[in-house]
Amino acid sequence: MATPTYHVAIVGAGVCGSAIARCLSAYKLDVVLLEKCTDVGFGVSKANSGIIHAGFHHQSHSLKARLEIQGNLMFEKLHHELGFPFRRVGILVVAFSQEQMKTVAHLYAQGLANGVEGLEICGAQRIHTLEPKLNPDAVGGLHAPSGGIIEPYRFVFALAECARNNGVEIITDFELTRATPVRGGYRLISRDGTEVSARYIVNAAGLYADTVSRILGAERFRIHPRKGEEYLLDRNAACYPGHVLFPVPAKNSKGILVIPTVEGTTMIGPTAHNINDKKDVSTTSDNLETVFTSAVHMVPLVSRRDIITAFAGIRPVLDTSDFFIAISTKARRVVQVAGIQSPGLTASPAIAELVKNLLKQAGLKLTEKRSFRARLEKVVTARSQTPETMARLADNDPRYANIVCRCETVSEAEIVEAIRKGHTTLDGIKFYTRAGMGRCQGGFCTYKILKILARETGKHISAFTKRGAGSYEVSGRLGEGQER
Ligand SMILES: Cc1cc2nc3c(=O)[nH]c(=O)nc-3n(C[C@H](O)[C@H](O)[C@H](O)COP(=O)(O)OP(=O)(O)OC[C@H]3O[C@@H](n4cnc5c(N)ncnc54)[C@H](O)[C@@H]3O)c2cc1C
């Protein structure tokens, strides 16, 4: 076989794969990002709490703790360059007894050892001043001002878009099922028989990193799925807090939180249950009860009436509980990025830097590219404009005057922009624009979006799916009838 086509193939376009792709796109390299779903970020990275953790939850010697702190510090620059929603609102760990204050003291000491800046142990008065919506029974806690919140899917989209602008090829609907070693690299074969070849492979396949590792003839390990259910509350909910609110942590998780999302809604959750099925994203009324009871204990204003939707994400957990990021000892051209459970979102930019250095260590030559463009064009959103600016925008482009999603104030111009950027499923458009994320959960805008999709792509309305193959929204006959 001839020399492999790509210098690097990254398997998995979640937040890790996309961050690695963007990082490598700054060098003179041919890079391909392979993703089994129809869009990027549709794996673990789309269903999480969106928190940029501060770095006090994990033991100093762990790889997680190191990359969490490094990643956290990189977000201002990334936000500035890529424009995804991000705010450093700060984190509070809330204690309800003197016994729990001992855990707070431990987290404080751990945070200091990890190098977290600005940590503060609060007494009752201080914590209630910082967060007036807290249960009056709270006796104190930990304040970490460096914690933040982001929109996770917008972050992944921005990373992937920037990587693509800088020459990375992104191939979606490519599920790696076979690989054969060839001289100087690997041939990678997808389920439908498409082939690419590359000199180095990065295994960033999230929940399926164990399968991909096996396919590549690298380490054998098992990824254990641990499910987390979360509940989203309306943007008008009175409970919206000023900080991310944690209880003192439980053994397997950081506990059930009350989270102010960066777009103004409130989220409560997640649960943490070990499960067997990596595809089980069901939610149950029992778990809603558990989440609701914990959340209302933290913030009494949390109301069941404000819940607009539920979802579950699945953490990819290794036996060690730490991240496994290393050059494979069995397959020297493979870099493993496995076991990336929380705080993987926070750590992802630091993971990308580490993987770049590991690839260099494995023999990849890195020469900086002068033409690298770190910045993305700013996305104009109708919901963040003043009426005067909206009027000006609509004068230039009447599609800004057509508000397609009324709950989240999303204009036709934004939907078209999402499609132009390659997001052609309903979920892709939802995650890019927020259309369908509000109180009515797409009840009013889904059909309008399908019609815009049909118009912009020239395809029949029945061709579009919620999230890719097998998730059709409209049956052929219904679509034809509605379209006329
Ligand atoms: C409920 C919950 C809450 C969380 N909250 C936070 C938080 O607040 N802050 C934080 O920092 N972290 C959080 N996390 C963790 C964070 O979401 C993950 O660490 C991170 O998203 C993992 O990203 P990834 O790129 O490794 O995996 P993924 O996003 O799953 O990406 C892997 C990709 O590989 C693809 N793939 C798999 N197999 C193949 C194949 N054979 N061929 C091609 N492609 C393949 C998948 O489709 C997927 O898109 C949370 C996780 C959960 C579940």
In whole angstroms, give the CA distance from residue 402 to residue 362.
53
State the distance from the centre of ligand 1 to the C-alpha of 174, rounded, in angstroms: 17
Provide DSSP, 102-165: HHHHHHHHHHHHHT-SS-EEEEHHHHHHH-TTS-TT--EEEEETT-EEE-HHHHHHHHHHHHHH
pLDDT for the residue numbered 254: 87
State the distance from the centre of ligand 1 to the C-alpha of 216, rounded, in angstroms: 20
For the segment 303-319, what is each residue's pLDDT rounded down to a tens digit?
A: 999 999 999 999 999 99
In whole angstroms, give the CA distance from residue 357 to residue 43.
25
Contact criterion met (CB below 8 Å) for 44 and 152: no
CB atoms within 10 A of CB 223: 26
pLDDT for the residue numbered 479: 43
pLDDT for the residue numbered 469: 82
Tell me what the pLDDT averaged over the chain comes to: 95
- Residue 117: what residue type? E
pLDDT for the residue numbered 482: 42
pLDDT for the residue numbered 250: 74
- Residue 372: what residue type? F
Measured from the CB, is residue 261 less than 6 Å from ligand 1? Answer: no
CA angle, corner 156, sides to 468 and 166, nearest 5?
Answer: 105
In whole angstroms, give the CA distance from residue 385 to residue 120.
36
Measured from the CB, is residue 48 less than 6 Å from ligand 1? Answer: yes
Q: What percentage of residues in the chain have a pLDDT greater than 90?
A: 93
In whole angstroms, give the CA distance from residue 201 to residue 32.
10
pLDDT band at 473, cuts 50/70/90? Answer: low
State the distance from the centre of ligand 1 to the C-alpha of 48, rounded, in angstroms: 9
For the segment 409-455, what is each residue's pLDDT rounded down to a tens digit?
A: 999 999 999 999 999 999 999 999 999 999 999 999 999 999 999 99
**Could you confirm whether 57 is annotated as catalytic?**
no
Residue from 196, 311, 323, 345 to probe ligand 1 pocket by mutation (most atoms less than 8 Å from CB):
345
pTM, two decimal places: 0.96
In whole angstroms, give the CA distance from residue 132 to residue 94.
12
Please, what is the end-to-end C-alpha distance for the chain in angstroms?
A: 53
Bridge partners (DSSP) listed for residue 383: none
- Residue 160: what residue type? A
pLDDT for the residue numbered 301: 98
Ligand 1 atom 33, closest CA: 12
Residue 6 parent element (H or E): strand 6-11
pLDDT band at 471, cuts 50/70/90? Answer: confident
Structural domains present in the chain: 1-85+148-222+318-377 (3.50.50.60), 86-147+224-315 (3.30.9.10), 382-483 (1.10.10.1100)
Specify the ligand 1 atom closest to the Cα of 227: 53
- Residue 292: what residue type? F
Contact criterion met (CB below 8 Å) for 373 and 166: yes
State the distance from the centre of ligand 1 to the C-alpha of 140, rounded, in angstroms: 33
In whole angstroms, give the CA distance from residue 47 to residue 88.
20
Ligand 1 atom 15, closest CA: 342
Measured from the CB, is residue 36 less than 6 Å from ligand 1? Answer: yes
In whole angstroms, give the CA distance from residue 313 to residue 49.
9
Measured from the CB, is residue 315 less than 6 Å from ligand 1? Answer: yes
Residues in CB range of 316: below 8 A, 6 or more apart = 44, 206, 207, 209, 223, 224, 225, 338, 339, 340, 341
State the distance from the centre of ligand 1 to the C-alpha of 46, rounded, in angstroms: 7
Residue among 288, 234, 238, 299 nearest 263 (CA): 234
For the segment 151-183, what is each residue's pLDDT rounded down to a tens digit?
A: 999 999 999 999 999 999 999 999 999 999 999
Two structure tokens written together for 201: 């492979």
DSSP state of 379: P
Residue among 87, 99, 78 nearest 18 (CA): 78
Ligand 1 atom 13, closest CA: 342
Ligand 1 atom 21, closest CA: 45
Residue 93 parent element (H or E): strand 91-95
Tell me which of 7, 53, 143, 423 is the catalytic residue: 53
Provide DSSP, 294-323: HHHHH-TT--GGGEEEEEEEEEEE-TTSS-
The mean-pLDDT minimum among 16-20, 144-148, 439-443 falls in 439-443
pLDDT band at 470, cuts 50/70/90? Answer: confident
Measured from the CB, is residue 354 less than 6 Å from ligand 1? Answer: no
State the distance from the centre of ligand 1 to the C-alpha of 45, rounded, in angstroms: 4
In whole angstroms, give the CA distance from residue 116 to residue 25.
30
For the segment 90-140, what is each residue's pLDDT rounded down to a tens digit?
A: 999 999 999 999 999 999 999 999 999 999 999 999 999 999 999 999 999
Contact criterion met (CB below 8 Å) for 51 and 345: yes
DSSP state of 27: B
